[in-house]
Amino acid sequence: MLTKVTETASHSSLVTHFERVSISGAFVYLGPDHRLVAELRAAEVDPTAFVRAQALVEALPALSKRKLLSTFMRVTWPRAPPH
């Protein structure tokens, strides 16, 4: 699903966008005490935390993962308005 981060530049741009969308989604869908929320916050400064967050997303139950990823997709790539 998510691309593993191997370069610092990639980490910076991925986390910046991922943070904006996913930490809010994780907070709403999973609650403030879920480990994914903490890992996403830590990922702002720690590339390995982003990799740990990816593993946590992959381990989510199917419905929770689908909600989180569909929210990320919808915000990242919104549908074009009808003509």
21-72 pLDDT, tens digit each:
677 788 888 888 999 889 988 888 888 988 998 899 889 999 988 888 888 8
Q: Nearest CA to 47 among 20, 17, 7? A: 7
Stated pTM of the model: 0.65
Q: Nearest CA to 15 among 55, 56, 52, 50? A: 50
pLDDT tier for residue 10 given thresholds of 50, 70 and 90: low
Q: How far is CA 61 from CA 30, 58, 67, in A?
A: 11, 8, 10
Q: Which of these ranges, 53-57, 71-75, 76-80, has the smallest mean pLDDT?
A: 76-80
Sign, Cα dihedral of 23, 28, 29, 30: positive
* Residue with the larger pLDDT of the pair 16 and 40: 40
DSSP secondary structure string for all residues of 15-26? HHHHHHHHHHHH
